[in-house]
Amino acid sequence: MNPTPALALGRADGPAECTHTDTVATFFRALADPTRLKLMEFILGGERTSADCVAHAGISQPRVSVHLSCLVDCGYVTARRDGKKLRYSIGDPRVADLVVLARALAADNAAALACCPRISPAPRPHPRQR
């Protein structure tokens, strides 16, 4: 069986295969989390420490660490050690352009996004999870 038709449709025939469509979907999924997006926008303002990010996000240090690790693993953010601190900065300036464009598109389409029955707002974390 030829896997080309499935790949052309953006589906992987097995767990070892990853198509371009899968990669792009993962790219956006990493930014789809409100906390990660909030941290990204904060880091766009300049290099930030973990403590800066915790104060800005208003959630626990372990939760912020999980989100920052995701952003680093995905290549959106870089981390450098400065003594005992980790300092985070944008890994690729194109990410800044993407976030600005996404904000503009979301603002222009706010009414449609609010009424979209297929995509619901992200659930808010329970206060005990903070």
Q: Say how many C-beta atoms besides its own lie within 10 A of residue 29's C-beta.
A: 11
What pLDDT, on a 0 to 100 scale, did the predictor assign at position 23? 87
Segment 7-56, tens digit of pLDDT: 333 444 444 566 789 888 888 888 889 999 999 999 999 999 999 999 99
Query: Quick one: what percent of the chain has pLDDT higher than 90?
Result: 52
Q: What is the mean pLDDT of residues 63-89?
A: 95
The pTM score is 0.73
- Asked if residue 71 lies in contact with residue 39, where contact means CB atoms within 8 angstroms, the answer is yes
Tell which CATH architecture fits domain 27-109: Orthogonal Bundle (1.10)
- Asked if residue 40 lies in contact with residue 71, where contact means CB atoms within 8 angstroms, the answer is yes
Domain boundaries, the chain: 27-109
* Long-range contacts at 99-108 (CB < 8 A, ≥ 24 apart): 99/31, 99/37, 99/40, 99/41, 99/44, 102/31
pLDDT at 57 > cutoff 80: yes
